[in-house]
Each structure stands twice: as structure tokens, then as C-alpha cells.
Amino acid sequence: MKNAFFIGNALLWLQLFEIFSQYLKLTVAAQASLTNIKCTSFNKTFVSFAECRLNLVQRGFNEYSISLKVHQPPIENVTVHLQFMKKSNGYHPYMVDTIFDACKFMNTKSNPLLKYLYGFLRPYTNVNHSCPYNHDLIVKNLRIDQRLLNAAAILPTGDYAIFTNWMMNNKKMARLEIYMRYQEYK
């Protein structure tokens, strides 16, 4: 009787181990590190970058800060061209290439992709209300939230970039290029 109990428990543990190992095969962990940032102002009489820098926090772990000085407030009617790029003999569009009304998005937050990307930005910025903006726009010490990153886990290992062109009143005002390295672990 004792042996039957032991064998029953062993089978149960074997089944639990099999379920757990299947779960591990399906779970993908990932790590992304910021590698560079470039900020360009096309109309310095309207907006300029007071800060645009990448800080090394610890090995393989960076954060960036951006401060956009607004010389002629208020900022209204903002359109953003967002491109997600993958490096392969240069940077080329990968999965996302969209133009959206930033004021409308900040008012409704109805686009699921933009809402996901804004989730990375929200804790570090004063861009937290709809237009108009009568103040400088700041992103301070932004770090990639690994939990948000692991929630997606759809990217292959590689070098990526996010390019954004910011138009205000249909005039190109600024461009941000954020570069990162993405590594998935299975």
C-alpha cells in the first residue's frame, strides 16, 4: 500500500513537471537595452532640445532623458509619424509605420498599439494630458519596463530603432531616433 502511494505521488510529480516544462518552453523572457538617441529640431524658433542624452545606469542598462523647450506655446494640432525599424543592412521599417494625431490619442487613448507604447513613456514624462501644451515637454530617466516588454515577446533578437517625426500645424518640427538592442531568451 505504501508503494502504491509513493508511485501515485511520483506520477503526480512527473505530470506536474511535464506541465511546468511545457510552460517554460512557451514562456519567452526578453531584455532590451537602449543604445543611442538622436534629437533634431527643424525649427529652433518654435521648439529646441535643451536635453537629449542617454545615461549609463549600470552595465547593459541605460536610460534616456529628453527636454523639448517650447518657444512659442501653445502646442496644438500635433501629428506624429511613427516608424518601428529593424537593422538589416541599414534600418528598414518593421511591423509599424503609422501616422497619428497625438492630441486625439492623448484625449481618447483608443489605439491599442499606441497605448502599449505610451505605457513605457507614461511614468517618466509630463506629457500626460491632451492638447494644448503650454509648457516644455520632458521625459526624464526613461528605462525600458521589462514587464511590458515581456508581455509582447514577439520580436526576434536584433537591433531596432523607433523613428518619430513630429509635425505641428502641418510643419515638420522635430525628429527623435531611439536605438535599442533586443535579446530574447527561451
6, pLDDT greater than 60: no
Give the domain ranges of the chain: 28-185
Write the pLDDT tens digit of every residue in 36-73.
999 999 999 999 999 999 998 887 678 999 999 999 99
- Residue 12 Cα to chain centre, angstroms: 42
- C-alpha to C-alpha distance for 58 and 65, rounded to whole angstroms: 16
Counting Cα atoms < 13 Å in the Cβ hemisphere of 138 gives 8
| Average pLDDT score over residue span 148-155 | 62
Q: Which of 118, 113, 152, 144 is nearest to 37 (CA)?
A: 144
- C-alpha to C-alpha distance for 64 and 49, rounded to whole angstroms: 13
122, pLDDT greater than 60: yes
Q: What residues are paired with 7 via a beta bridge? A: none
CATH number of 28-185: 2.70.220.10
Write the pLDDT tens digit of every residue in 56-65.
888 767 899 9
